[in-house]
Chain A
Amino acid sequence: MFAYDGRTAVRGSAGRPSGGLGRPVPVLPAALAARARPISSASSRLLPLSEPLVSLFPDRALRRGSTVVVAGARGLGTTTLALALLAAPSAAGSWCGIVGVPDPGVVAMAELGIDLGRVVLVPEARGGWVDAVGELAGGIDVLLVRPFGSCRPGVARRLVARARERQTALVVLVDRPEEWPDGPDLTLRVTRAAWRGIGAGHGHLQCRLAEVEASGRRSAARSVSRRLWLPSSSGTVADGDGPEQPV
């Protein structure tokens, strides 16, 4: 009559070892593990990056005063990637700014390992984004900006020059690389991405495997392609060629 032994299954016995009862996946250890140790002092020319990202950068770090364009269709994880560039610097004590990204996901930022106490945001800069970038470039170490509308070449050149002069790393988030009309030091293009863990009415968005192509000038002239979890199932960025994410 009974499909399974209800008597043993359902008695709530005190002291029973706790099972997997809907406890949240332990987020923190993975987040900490993915967070790189600071590899530079504040006066150094290099800012740290999370370990999974270093192979995309010719210096294996984020160079102060350089410009990095993060490009790709929305939905491919470009926002995740751009935000991830702020994780290690903010955790190491660098001030970071985010300009022109409306409605930023603060919880996602924390999951990526960003120290929220070191990041200021100007979400609704709109037409004032150029002013905001110009002012912030003088005072902080990493500046992530999504240009509002089309950006004229003269404006882009001016902002890049200011960032270089003030030794602020500039991260520009765009849908297509052409939207930033000034040759950056490095372009990170997310060419494709696929979510795992979600089905037809079951599971949930667990992790997104993305292909990222890095190309640039000088030492970065040869393009590098990497697979990254943007994000992994713990909300961090992880090496996509590493062990499979648990799905």
Chain B
Amino acid sequence: MGMERLIALWCPGLLREGERGDEARAFLQVLVAAERFCPWVDPVSLGICTIPSRGPSRFFGGERAVVEKLAAAMGDLAVRHPAVGQVRVGAADGLFAALLAARSGLAVPRGETAAFLAPCSVAVLRRTELAVTLQRLGVHTLGQFAALPARDVLARFGADAGACHRVAGGDEGELVGLRDSGLRRRLETVRTDRADAGHPRQPGFFGGASAADARAAEAFARVQERLGAGAVVVGRLQGGRSPEERASLVPWGARGTTAPSGPSGRSRPGSSPAAAPWPGRLPVPSPTRVLGTPVELAVTDDTGRAVQVTARGLLDADPAAASIGGGPWQEVRGWAGPWPSTERWWSSRRRRARLQILTAAGALLVVAERGGWWVEALYE
């Protein structure tokens, strides 16, 4: 069966929108919390979303671990945001079965979709007319419906019923009407700017500059005179996802750079707002060099064919060799990821995937985007 394995979240209290839009706001919290497990959160309709099972399962050590952690995370979320209420988690093959599984809080084993659906009422297809007709004919369950010959269903009830028939038999997961096409726009309108907008740190000032500070400042000014004002920079941490977003280099002399920061103002790794978890953030330790201009990378499998990232963010072959910027080919000794990265997925469809690649010459952080590979950072 070619259906994608999905983990679904079902929020019984958020399925219908009230007048004040609280449900949509609470559902956004659910989406953001789910995004910590996988950025490819797919909002299906208000109160219902899915994530692909495969990527997170690989990262967290199995689907069961993902499901348990998701459930725990949603429990925590409900404590912090009571408006979220109960969140049920389920998993199954294909969207339709995944939604039903989540509604019941069940994980349906791979390949058991038809058996899971069989006892369900035909009413779950949400085709009132069809359901009434079928029940009059003595067909009450999806299993009984699926047992009817496909050709007869098509001839007697039409194309939409044919699609329902394939879904009932566990052969397909998508069905017209499952998705709320206006949902993304609605979420966009209730979205408030939160999370990782980045708070530039406020340096705490000592009383006055010491003699050492004055001497250092003079030396920096002399270098600026020789090499240009922009040549001397200081590093700053901020919120963000990729290495280049999380840090910035600002010219010495810009506001807040010329006075030493007190110990309390010291930038700390792991402190908010730089503390978004995977996959927004890459794992510690971070690369020692973050290239301002990414360098092209070629990655091939053991047959010499170029390795690609699929639409679902998986590699289509195991990398065997890599060449940076047309340089010598290096053997690939290990890789991790791809970790998909969609910056602000509900407003943008831009998809990237990041990988760490270990070659004989060193470790690289690479990004795959639009069919190409780029070295973004080095662990020198």
Decide: A105 and B75 in contact? CB cutoff 8 A.
no
Q: Categorize the interface residue count of chain A.
A: 35 or more
Decide: A10 and B107 in contact? CB cutoff 8 A.
yes
Decide: A106 and B335 in contact? CB cutoff 8 A.
no
Decide: B226 and A24 in contact? CB cutoff 8 A.
no
Interface string of A4-17 (1 = CB under 8 A from B): 10110111111111
Within the complex, the shortest CB–CB distance from A157 to chain B, in Å, comes to 21
- Contact stretch, chosen from B18-26, B64-72, B169-177, B186-194: B64-72
Q: Of B216, B231, B358, B377, which contacts A105 at CB under 8 A?
A: B377
Decide: A2 and B108 in contact? CB cutoff 8 A.
yes
A10-B68, A18-B76, A104-B290 known; A111 vs B109 contact (CB < 8 Å): no
Residue of B nearest to A3 (CB): B109
Q: Could you tell me which residues of chain A, from 74 to 114, have a CB within 8 Å of some CB in chain B?
A: 74-80, 83, 91, 93-95, 101-111
What chain A residues lie within 8 Å of B248 (beta carbons)?
106
Decide: B116 and A1 in contact? CB cutoff 8 A.
yes
Say whether chain B's binding surface is mostly helix, strand, loop, or mixed: mixed
Q: How far is the CA of A206 from the CA of B358 in the complex (A)?
A: 12
Q: How far is the CA of A104 from the CA of B86 in the complex (A)?
A: 46
What chain A residues lie within 8 Å of B284 (beta carbons)?
24-25, 27, 111, 233-235
Number of A-B contacts (CB under 8 A): 311
**B134 at interface (Cβ–Cβ under 8 A)?**
no
Decide: B106 and A7 in contact? CB cutoff 8 A.
yes
Q: How far is the CA of A40 from the CA of B271 in the complex (A)?
A: 29
27 pairs of residues in contact across A and B, judged by CB atoms under 8 Å? A9-B64, A10-B71, A12-B78, A12-B86, A13-B71, A14-B78, A16-B72, A16-B75, A27-B270, A74-B362, A75-B379, A79-B289, A94-B212, A104-B289, A107-B246, A107-B274, A116-B266, A117-B265, A120-B234, A121-B233, A121-B249, A135-B226, A139-B215, A200-B318, A202-B58, A205-B283, A233-B284
Top-8 shortest CB links A-B: A75-B362, A139-B219, A106-B247, A27-B270, A117-B261, A106-B235, A12-B74, A6-B106
